[in-house]
Amino acid sequence: MKRRVVITACSAISPIGYGKKAITDGLQHGRSGVRPLRDDGLLTNHIHSRVFGTVDYPINYQFTRSQRKTMGPVAYYACQVAGDVLAASGLSEEFITSGRLGVAFGSTHGSPTVQREIYKTFFQNLEAEFSSIGAVDYLRSMVHTTAVNITRMFGITGRVIASSTACTTSSQAIGFGYEMIKYGMQDAMVCGGADEYDTTTVAVFDNLLACSVAYNATPERTPRPFDRKRDGLVVGEGGGAVLLEEFEAAKKRGAPILGEIIGFSCNNNGGDLILPNLAGITATLRLALADAAIEPAAVDYISAHATATKMGDIIESQAIEAVYGDRPFVSGLKSYTGHTMGSCGVIELIMTLYMMEEGFVAPTLNLDEVDPRCAPVRHTPGVLQTKTKIAAVQNFAFGGVNTSLLVKNGREAGI
Amino acid sequence: MTRDVLQEKILDILVRDFEFQDPQLDDNLRDDHGFDSIDAIELLGKIERIFGFSLTREEKEKAMDIRTINDILDYLEPIYQGRSK
């Protein structure tokens, strides 16, 4: 059994805004969501990189106390966007709770904010005789906290996939959700990812000399994917969700078709856990095309992973050139948001869907002078009014995990 | 600590941390305020800090049968009186 899988709703909380209007506006006007790193009273002053892709606007959460008690900050993002897509879908409560709808959702490492509270136990000698670890701290911090807070909040009884592979967390979630429906295991899936503000994540990349440090006084000028003066990634926060449905059922109930997932691939470099690997990345791009049964020339736009690290952008450019040549437009959307970690795949997919719907592609922000080593691909030369029929969303993670999602414009989905 | 003082402290926690609206002493904790067993564990941790000593496993297990705020006070009063002598 192979069934078609379409996207019928999406929602993102990103450093450049919440919802389609704000995000589209940010992309069209070259707005950066990178801000000075907030002070957490712990690590901020010990980190060289002082910039962060920041969600700095209020969000009107309507969660009850009962819902909130098992949620850390990461689950707030996750449940908010999951609630948005379920509300937008118009799916009945009967279907949502039927067991035919599942959840594929993840984060890099649950809620570090709550984990920090747990760790304090080790340093509270004076109170050692009391129960310092709260009853719900594990539920709020565990690695699958986003997925199961979504199931709890909406009474979802289907499959749960809680991917947690750093930067490929949500692209895996979408890909695995797509496969669940394609092969008949589920009829619909809420897929995505989220990550919260956390300086320990910044510190991890900072220690590896992978973070941007040269633009601390001008946060909006970094990250700079593919640019000659790029100096590393900028960690960020956010969340995004897409609702995937089996095509015939979605069509039958008159759901809006925002796009169709036509291909997915996921592989591993089989070796080093940090360094980008040309062979591994090239292979995953080809595997996605094979899954979709399309030629490279059918792809009009590529949302590159493009973190703005020195080597990562070069290797990705080489892989894109090897597979796609210089035909599709390419941009690195993290230039607007920073690297939102576990949510980057879904946020970049949603940005791509918005651009497809509105008939434009956004360029890489801060790409003032292309690094010649990243030059062989077709960098998007400014906001371009163009019709994208098929786009690729690429993500690569620590651990050597690579993914590629291929998505067809909803208007082209053959309804 | 008298029962009245204890009652005041418990009500304060229930309103502030568990967001109880207008709690009455004989309200059913679960039905009227959505207070469940996880909340009970959380509350016990806060009570330990008020008392200044930790509760035993047996004492905590007995707390799982509590249904009302009056039950909480009936449960805590003898524990506090017994330990603080």
ipTM of the complex: 0.82
pLDDT the model gives residue A116:
87
pLDDT the model gives residue B85:
64
- HEC string of chain A equals CCCCEEEEEEEEEECCEECHHHHHHHHHCCCCCEEECCCCCCCHHHCCCCEEECCCCCCCCCCCHHHHCCCCHHHHHHHHHHHHHHHHHCCCHHHHCCCCEEEEEECCCCCHHHHHHHHHHHHCHHHCCCCCCCCCHHHHHCCCHHHHHHHHHHCCCCCEECCCCHHHHHHHHHHHHHHHHHCCCCCEEEEEEEECCCHHHHHHHHHCCCECCCCCCCHHHCCCCCECCCCCECEECEEEEEEEEEHHHHHHCCCCCCEEEEEEEEEECCCCCCCCCHHHHHHHHHHHHHHHCCCHHHCCEEECCCCCCHHHHHHHHHHHHHHHCCCCEEECCHHHHCECHHHHHHHHHHHHHHHHHHCEECCCCCCCCECHHHCCCEECCCCEECCCCEEEEEEEECCCEEEEEEEEEHHHCCC
Chain B hits for A139, Cβ within 8 Å: 38
pLDDT the model gives residue A240:
98
pLDDT digits (tens, 9 = 90+) for A77-121: 999 999 999 999 999 999 999 999 999 999 999 999 999 888 877
Out of A64, A69, A131, closest to residue B45 by CB: A131
Q: What is the dihedral of CA B40, B41, B46, B49, to 10 degrees?
A: 130
Number of cross-chain residue pairs from A and B with Cβ atoms under 8 Å apart: 33
3-state secondary structure of B71: helix
Residues of A marked as catalytic: 167, 305, 339
Give me the phi and psi of A268, to 5 degrees please: -130, 150
CATH number of the domain that residue A203 is part of: 3.40.47.10
The parent domain of residue B24 ranges over 3-83
pLDDT digits (tens, 9 = 90+) for A302-358: 999 999 999 999 999 999 999 999 999 999 999 999 999 999 999 999 999 999 999
Whether residues A135 and B49 touch (CB distance < 8 A) is answered with: no
Out of A66, A70, A135, closest to residue B45 by CB: A135
Pairing assessment for the beta strands A301-303 and A17-18 based on DSSP bridges: unpaired
Percent residues over pLDDT 90 in chain B: 69
Given a cut of 60, is residue A126 above it in pLDDT? no
Given a cut of 70, is residue A415 above it in pLDDT? no
**Which residues are CB-neighbours of B58 under 8 A, at least 6 positions away?**
none
Whether residues B39 and A69 touch (CB distance < 8 A) is answered with: yes
Name the band, by pLDDT with cuts 50, 70 and 90, for residue A1. Answer: confident
Are residues A412 and A388 in contact, defined by beta-carbon separation less than 8 angstroms?
Answer: no
Instruction: Provide the CB-side half-sphere exposure for A44 (13 A, CA).
Output: 12
The parent domain of residue A168 ranges over 5-412
Are residues A133 and B57 in contact, defined by beta-carbon separation less than 8 angstroms?
Answer: no
Q: Which residues of B touch A (CB under 8 A)?
A: 18-19, 34, 36, 38-39, 41-42, 44-45, 48-49, 53-54
Arithmetic mean of pLDDT, B47-55: 89
Chain A hits for B20, Cβ within 8 Å: none
Given a cut of 60, is residue A158 above it in pLDDT? yes
Arithmetic mean of pLDDT, A219-245: 98
pLDDT digits (tens, 9 = 90+) for A260-315: 999 999 999 999 999 999 999 999 999 999 999 999 999 999 999 999 999 999 99
Given a cut of 60, is residue A127 above it in pLDDT? no
Chain A hits for B53, Cβ within 8 Å: 129
Closest CA to A401 of A111, A103, A175, A194: A175
pLDDT the model gives residue A414:
63
Chain B hits for A69, Cβ within 8 Å: 38-39, 42
3-state secondary structure of B34: coil
Arithmetic mean of pLDDT, A126-133: 61
Whether residues B42 and A65 touch (CB distance < 8 A) is answered with: no
Peptide bond between residue A223 and the one before it cis (omega within 30 degrees of 0): yes
Chain B hits for A129, Cβ within 8 Å: 53-54
Are residues A172 and A399 in contact, defined by beta-carbon separation less than 8 angstroms?
Answer: no
Whether residues A135 and B19 touch (CB distance < 8 A) is answered with: no
Whether residues B34 and A131 touch (CB distance < 8 A) is answered with: no
Whether residues B48 and A130 touch (CB distance < 8 A) is answered with: yes
Domains held by chain A: number = 1
Out of B18, B19, B54, closest to residue A129 by CB: B54
CATH number of the domain that residue B26 is part of: 1.10.1200.10
| Token couple for B42 | 């959380």
Mean pLDDT score of chain A: 95
pLDDT digits (tens, 9 = 90+) for A364-409: 999 999 999 999 999 999 999 999 999 999 999 999 999 999 999 9
Higher pLDDT, A411 or A349: A349
A64 CA to chain B: closest CA distance, Å? 10
Residue from B16, B19, B51, B64 whose CB has the most chain A CBs within 10 Å, to mutate: B19
Interface of A with B in 125-144 (CB under 8 A): 127, 129-132, 134-136, 139
Whether residues B48 and A69 touch (CB distance < 8 A) is answered with: no
Whether residues A134 and B48 touch (CB distance < 8 A) is answered with: no
- What are the C-alpha distances in Å from A231 to residues A204, A335, A340, B7, B22? 16, 12, 17, 59, 56
A65 touches chain B (CB under 8 A): yes
Out of B34, B42, B53, closest to residue A134 by CB: B42
Name the band, by pLDDT with cuts 50, 70 and 90, for residue A128. Answer: low
Burial class for A169, CB neighbours closer than 10 Å (0-12, 13-18, 19+): buried
Domains held by chain B: number = 1
Name the band, by pLDDT with cuts 50, 70 and 90, for residue A123. Answer: confident
pTM: 0.95
Residue from A61, A63, A65, A71 whose CB has the most chain B CBs within 10 Å, to mutate: A65
Higher pLDDT, A133 or A395: A395
Chain A hits for B38, Cβ within 8 Å: 69-70, 135-136, 139
Given a cut of 80, is residue A132 above it in pLDDT? no
3-state secondary structure of B30: helix
Closest CA to A336 of A105, A47, A53, A7: A53
pLDDT the model gives residue A193:
98
Burial readout A320-351 (b: 16 or more C-beta within 10 A, e: otherwise): bbbbbeeebbbbbbbbbbbbbbbbbbbbbbbb
